Homo-oligomer: A and B are copies of this chain.
Amino acid sequence: MATVTSNVKKLPSDIEIARNAHLAPLTEVAAKVGIDESDLVPYGRHVAKVELEVIEKMADRPDAKYVVVTAITPTPLGEGKTTTAVGLAQGLARIGRKPVLALRQPSLGPVFGIKGGAAGGGYSQVVPMETLNLHLTGDFHAITAAHNLLAAMVANHLHFGNELGLDDIQWRRVMDMNDRSLRHIIEGCGAKTDGVTRQTGFDITAASEVMVIMALATSLADLRKRLGRIVVGFTTAKKPVTAEEIGAAGAMAALLKDALMPNLMQTLENTPAFIHTGPFGNIAIGNSSIIADRVGIKAGDILLTEAGFAADMGAERFFNVKCRAAGLTPQAAVLVATVRALKSHSGRYEVKAGKPLPEGMLQESPEDVEAGCENLVKHIQIIRDFGVQPVVAINAFPTDFDSEHDVIRRTAEKMGARVAVSTHVADGGEGAMELARTVVEACEDEVHFTPTYEFEDSLEEKITKIATKVYGADGVELSPAAAKSLKLYSDQGYGHLPVLIAKTQMSLSHDASLKGAPTGWTLPVREVRLAAGAGYVYAICGNMMTMPGLSKSPAAMRIDIDDEGNVQGLF
């Protein structure tokens, strides 16, 4: 039986496709969505920052439709949310719309670790990919510097007598690198003049609270305030000590002011793409920046923004935290589904990162897909509960079969959800035109945006509501330490904050091995922490890795420059 991807063809490598791209001058790309050259600050030949003043300048324009791109519970290989977002943007442009894309910036850690680069794939990429993957405009470096300036000033405060009485210090350092040896360090190991000896460690920059602050700040003034509110630790009397009290918040803002301008790039088909901030998907917000969305919502007529991981994680935070902080109303959600992910949700196969797919998964088997479809059903329901309509986007692979796509289509339709197949990786925007038309249709739906909880709910209620209403848990089990922290944070006036739940992305539950749509389980909260500057409390369920390590043969070993100075080995 024929596979659905009619034009099964041997695709050139991502980097070959990217190198052959015809990049348009960014002024032209910006002009497509009404951003004037005078509002662009060029950074290199193919990236420009957009002045924040455009937000005011464009205030009278109507808002674009705000569409989040999310996914079903993925395999460790990922199900192509980024490529779908890029392809869909290209497809929307092809049917005469003015799309704007908003994506997260990749972190250097994974670039040199496993992935060797991330910018979409095939004929749905953001270019130039070397620029996107290496430094871009230096925003991550600015965030690293601001984070570590605060750390240096905290250590300096201890060194000069600890006037504020800091006892329990929670502010670590960050580096945009996979470096397991820095997870746990002892600093100040020299003479007395070399600082106070204490245990601490490094996280990857994407896990920095400053990264989240950049993602959630609605203006430069808001950024400055959030930085001041960062709690670096607590006194013996459990009083929080802030970055403002340390005296670091102003200098941090000075380091970050240019980084707050979103970075404009383009897709292979010259569609405008904002690449801005890159907070981790587990302990951080996992969404790109509000500032980029605030610019994009006034620039185009459809704003596509990608949320990390699956709908229970990235989209939940998008709706409950980001939309409310931004004051923006979501219109629709694209729910990316793949045959391989649904087959894995059947529980019949185990997919491992860096390993080929199990042989059986490549056989035609609508039954396997059917057996995994309860995950899709649950994610459709999750999105609907926010009062938003999902569009199921079947991200087609050359190894898929029509019969398998039919199962997905029927499942979605049975739920009354829109659905479309997209072959954007092989065909670029042309392959996403059906999806584009379906999304445009969904943008006419009436929306009754309904967050999962109210800010007035207690912190514990908020956690419980996410666990039960979104994840499908029976309830929540707080460890004594978690319960104590929740009480402390409420007592200190942080009870009104939203909550994030840090858990695995590989299951709707906290247990990566539970596929499909698990029921009859309780969410165990090991620990609760405060991110007062970012403006949330986060509950940790399981071991969260905040500083990845390199593999035995990291991607960095394959990366080099050639005689012309071109980067080799990024893909």
Residues of A within 8 A of B (CB): 41-45, 49, 52, 108, 112, 130, 134-135, 137-138, 141-142, 144-145, 148-149, 151-153, 155-156, 159-160, 175-190, 193-196, 199, 201, 220-221, 224, 247-251, 253-255, 257-258, 549-550, 552, 554, 556-561, 563, 565, 567-570
Residues of B within 8 A of A179 (CB): 148, 151-152, 155-156, 195
A563 nearest in chain B by CB position: B221
A-B contact pairs, 6 of them (CB 8 A): A135-B142, A135-B145, A148-B177, A155-B179, A193-B549, A254-B570
Residues of B within 8 A of A41 (CB): 44-45
Q: How far is the CB of A156 from chain B (nearest CB, A)?
A: 4
Q: How far is the CB of A150 from chain B (nearest CB, A)?
A: 9
Instruction: Summarize A's interface: helix, strand, loop or mixed.
Output: mixed
Residues of B within 8 A of A130 (CB): 254
CA distance A124 to B451 in the complex (A): 58
Across the interface, A550 reaches (CB within 8 A) one of B142, B153, B175, namely B153
CA distance A180 to B224 in the complex (A): 26
Residues of B within 8 A of A44 (CB): 41-43, 49, 258
Q: How far is the CB of A210 from chain B (nearest CB, A)?
A: 14
- Do residues A181 and B153 form an inter-chain contact, with CB atoms below 8 A? no
Across the interface, A565 reaches (CB within 8 A) one of B142, B159, B220, namely B220
CA distance A147 to B246 in the complex (A): 29
Residues of B within 8 A of A49 (CB): 44
Q: How far is the CB of A45 from chain B (nearest CB, A)?
A: 6
Across the interface, A185 reaches (CB within 8 A) one of B134, B159, B187, B224, namely B187
Most chain-B CB neighbours within 10 Å: which of A45, A152, A221, A224?
A: A152
CA distance A153 to B550 in the complex (A): 8
A131 nearest in chain B by CB position: B258
A220 nearest in chain B by CB position: B565
Q: How far is the CB of A143 from chain B (nearest CB, A)?
A: 11
Residues of B within 8 A of A176 (CB): 145
CA distance A217 to B227 in the complex (A): 39
- Do residues B135 and A251 form an inter-chain contact, with CB atoms below 8 A? no
- Do residues B135 and A148 form an inter-chain contact, with CB atoms below 8 A? no
Q: A134-B254, A180-B194, A220-B561 are in contact. List 4 more A-B contacts (CB 8 A).
A: A155-B181, A184-B189, A190-B201, A254-B561
A150 nearest in chain B by CB position: B556
Q: Contacts A152-B177, A180-B155, A561-B224 given: A135-B186 contact, CB under 8 Å?
A: no
